[in-house]
Structure formats: C-alpha cells, structure tokens
Amino acid sequence: MAGRACVTGATGFLGRAIVEELVAAGRPVRALVRSDVAAQRLVDIGAEPVRGDLRDRASLEAAFAGCEAVYHVAGVNAFCLPDPRPMFEINVAGSRAVVLAAAAAGVTRLVYTSSAATLDVASAASDGHPRRFLSNYARSKYRAEQAVVKASAETGLPVICVNPASVQGPGRTSGTARLLIGFLNGKLPAAVDGPLNVIDVADCTRGHLLAEERGVPGERYLLCGASMTLRSGLALLARLTGLDDPPRFLPPRLALAASAGIEVVARVRGKHTRFCREMVRTLIEGAPYDGSKAARDLGLDYTPIETTMRRAISWYIEQGLILRALPAFSDSADAAPTLA
C-alpha cells in the first residue's frame, strides 16, 4: 500500500506510533485532530493534521477524502467511570460513523483497532457471544466491533479488525503500565494476580500496517506477544532490576470486597476512584490470549517480553518516572534473563 492514509486517535500512544511508522514508510499521512496544539505535534512528525470529530460525520468525510486507507485507532479506554455513556458514544457510535464516512469518501480499506477484551474466553459462551462483560470498556468495544462489522456489510467497505492485548513499551504510562511503574518505585504494596497479556508497541504498530497490507477483510487478528500472569510479570521486572520487594497478592474475594467498599465511599463523597470492581474483575478473570494467527497469516514477528520490558524501563528512567535506584538494571539486551 502506498496511497494516502488517515489515522484517527493520532495523538494517542498507539495512534502516534502508527503515524510515525506510516511516515517512515514514505506514505502521505493525514491525522485527525481537535486542537491547534495537537495539530502542531503531528506536523512535527511529518503528518498533515485535519480537523475532525467522531461525532461529526461531515468532518470525517472531509478528512478521509482522497485517502486510500483509514486507520481507526481513536477510542476511550477507561475503567471506573461514574458515567460510561460518553465512552459508549465515542467507541460505538463514533466507530460506526467512521466506517460510514470512509465508505462515502471512497476509502478502499479500513483497519479498525478493536481490543482483545472482546475475545475474552472467560466471558464468552460457546456460541462466541459474551454472557457477561468484565467491564464497561469491554462491553463498549464489543458493541463497537459489532457496529463496525455491520456498517462494513451495509456499505461494502473492506474492514480488517485488529485486537491488541495490553500495549506496552516506551511512551505508555497509563493502564497496566501504572502497575509496572508503581512496582519499580516501591509503591505497589498490594496487587491482584491474574492473566497479563502484552504486545510491544512496535509490534502492535507493525501488526496494524500488516493488517492493511495482508489482512483479509472481515477477519480479526489478535495481537499478543506474551501471555503470563501479573505475578510472573512482576517477577520478571524484579530479575531485570534486582528489586526484591514484591507486593502482597490479595485473594480475589478480598480484592473484590475492598473495591466495592472503595466505590461506595467514593460515590458518597462525590469523587472518582481509579480502583473499582470492574478493574479487579478484569485483572483476575481475564483469559490468556493466543496471537499466533497474526504471526502465521500476517507475518508478524513478536518481540521477546524481556526486550519489551527492558525498553519500557529505560524509557521510564529517561522520563524521570523512576524515583529509586534499580540495582541490577542494564538496558543491554545481552543481559536480559529468560522468563521462567
């Protein structure tokens, strides 16, 4: 693929990485923005910023005009929201609007960034339809993917879905990365064990571009380079850094009860909490993911998890996010231990 591409969510962690990769490949790239500050950031990396909003279909059609491909990366990824309705509006209605606008603008291929959360085995019945969602985010992304597939069928626009696991690496400070940074700073006294599925940001980026180039419309490609538990992931960080103060792992029932109590207190006080039952459920009830289809069908090579974590730690240090010494850390790949 060599024609112009447009990326939504281009100022986010993954969206920016995709823009940079497309620009590096020599593609003309447009990036959907909503502010002058964001526009300048995209200009600085070689993209053409265009104003647009997922709630304004006309602006989307104008942004996509003359583009061969659209990468729809924009979305809301959040837990513990007092009111999740705006997340559903962006993730579900906004995604449908993107497909309809892309089809109307003559786009020939759309790569949609879904989520591995939509494939959660722990919450799926034998027919593949979820019987229970672990979070409002998972529910919104499932409904969004269904909306995208339906809009694709209605318009005939070829759509390829990619479903990333937790995207980690330089630049990531939110979500699971907060747990990793907290551990490295000695500020993670307690945790809940459960599946930890990771995709290196560089691999996730390549996976998107390979999906445009080689993906089969109507197919979904799970991107996951490593599947382990949070306990083993923190043990890997400890071996990489020489730290020896693991958190106390709470029993699931205790963690759920504690999160329910925190939710009640936050609601009474009119405050927002970042620790809630849906977050705990996601940590303890998620499923291990298998990213072999993307490797087999798209030709995606996965980065070893040790390399991903080492690169992430080096970036945390460069950004001043680690506030204590890491006695055994080296950013040399030769020093990386194997994961037990």
pLDDT digits (tens, 9 = 90+) for 8-58: 999 999 999 999 999 999 999 999 999 999 999 999 999 999 999 999 999
Hey, what domains does the chain have and what are their CATH numbers?
Answer: 5-169+198-227+290-298 (3.40.50.720)
Q: Specify whether the CB–CB gap between 59 and 52 falls below 8 A.
A: yes
Please work out, in degrees rounded to the nearest 5, the angle formed at the alpha carbon of residue 121 by the alpha carbons of 206 and 197: 40
- Evaluate if pTM is beyond 0.85: yes
- Separation between Cα atoms, residue 40 and residue 49, nearest integer Å: 8
Residue 156 corresponds to which tokens in the numbers above? 């005939």
* Residues recorded for the chain: 340
pLDDT digits (tens, 9 = 90+) for 67-120: 999 999 999 999 999 999 999 999 999 999 999 999 999 999 999 999 999 876
Closest to 30 measured CA to CA, from 111, 241, 45, 208: 45
